[in-house]
Amino acid sequence: MATTQPDRLDRIESLLERMAIESERSKRESNERLTRIEQANEANAQRITELTQVVASNNRFLESFSQDLKRYTDNLDRVSQQLATSTASANEDRYETNTRLSSIIGNWMQSPVIWG
């Protein structure tokens, strides 16, 4: 069966129309995918911005907390030194008191009044 020139042109035209329709559909789908990707990128950028703000806030908190801990440990060191000084002083006082009591008891024990 021989095809005539007009039939062949009709088939080519039909094929070109289908290709044009398919091309438009493909372009539309590509544009939709691109739009979704751009929206996802924007959402990700927003989330990154939010996370950056959270990290900055956490860093400020940690810096403040670190300074509070430093002040606390400095105060504990100061109290510890005061306690050590006070304890040393009390020990020295106790030693002096014990020495005097020993001397008094020693003198008293050697007293002729006691042993008569």
Work out how many domains the chain is built from and give that number.
Answer: 1
Structure tokens at 95: 């030693």
pTM for the structure as a whole: 0.54
Domain that holds residue 53: 11-108
3 assigned to some structural domain: no
103 assigned to some structural domain: yes
pLDDT score recorded for residue 111: 72
Three-class DSSP category at 110: coil
* Helix or strand run (H / E) with residue 53: helix 5-109
What are 10-35's pLDDT values in tens digits?
999 999 999 999 999 999 999 999 99
46 assigned to some structural domain: yes
Give CA–CA dist 34/3, Å, rounded: 44
Cβ atoms 79, 73 nearer than 8 A: no
What are 56-98's pLDDT values in tens digits?
999 999 999 999 999 999 999 999 999 999 999 998 989 899 9
